[in-house]
Amino acid sequence: MLHLLKIEFRKMYSYRTFWIVCGLYFITIGFSTATGMEFLKWLATLVGNFGSELDINRIPLYHFPDVWLNLVWWSGFFKVLLGIMVVISITNEYTYRTIRQNVIDGLSRWEFLLSKILMNVVLSAASVVLIFLIAAVTGFIYTPEINWKYVFTDLEFYPVYFLELFSFLSYALMLGILVQRSGLTIILLLLSYMLEAIVKANVDDFVPWLIPFFPMESISALVPIPFYRYAFQPIQDYVDPLSVAIAIGWAGLFNYFSYLKLTRSDL
């Protein structure tokens, strides 16, 4: 396993695009999650009576336990950047035909795929760790009174955030392996949500129970939108086991499809 990861790192280490895209991604999720409160304060100075009508310090965006879910939900939007990186990494192997040479040099096709999947795991885990650290630090900064019971509430969204990223990256990887051309794959990746929305809208009238089983839907349903709670509406502040099961199922299927395609085709 470590051996395969080392191979993948050697491929990426001197690849500038990788560092730029990943750098942009981690900087974006890092900054945007860490500076939310400062952004609100800046907004308050800008809009005259913004602060007086709504005391920003009373919006518990960064209070434990809200901060955990809020930051996870927000950073989930940027996973598409990581998805694009995964697409570039796999379609490059087809464009340069290096996948062929890798197999000739002694990787099995499964090992090749596994090295990509492991990279997905690493990228997902890195995002989870980063957001967890930022949430912990900002939580301790902005929470007026630390109540340890709340500090440890809602932490289950972190493994679920990992699953959200990993399923999406597995999807991107599969798309790359099936399509093999970077431009087309990226377009399909970006359109996935929209295409699925169109299908969902049509299916909704006939078989509404099917909706949660759509791949993109299942991935987004993992982490519910938290902000309704600030409008005093109930939100789903727990992890739904069904959506977890569906997302795990899809992640497995995506990687299985990649495996089928890789082992059956000529490289």
| Shortest Cβ 18–other proteins spacing (Å) | 10
State whether residue 144 is helix, strand or coil. Answer: coil
| Shortest Cβ 108–other proteins spacing (Å) | 4
| Shortest Cβ 187–other proteins spacing (Å) | 24
| Shortest Cβ 23–other proteins spacing (Å) | 16
Of 104 and 231, which has the nearer Cβ to other proteins?
104
How long a stretch of residues is the chain?
Answer: 267
Residues that bind other proteins (CB under 8 A): 3, 6-7, 10-11, 13-16, 92, 96-98, 100-108, 111, 264-267
Of 108 and 147, which has the nearer Cβ to other proteins?
108
Of 17 and 147, which has the nearer Cβ to other proteins?
17
User: Which residues, including other chains, have CB under 8 Å from residue 63's CB and lie 6 or more apart?
Assistant: 139, 142, 143, 144, 150
| Shortest Cβ 232–other proteins spacing (Å) | 53
Of 117 and 135, which has the nearer Cβ to other proteins?
117
Amino acid letter, residue 144: P
Q: Is the Cα torsion angle 235, 239, 241, 247 positive or negative in sign? A: positive
Cis peptide before 65 (omega within 30 of 0): yes
SS3 content of the chain, % helix, strand, coil (to 5): 80, 0, 20
Q: Are 89 and 172 in contact (CB under 8 A)?
A: no
Of 88 and 134, which has the nearer Cβ to other proteins?
88
Q: Can you read off the two tokens belonging to residue 117?
A: 């999947």
Distance of CA 217 to the CA centre of its chain: 13
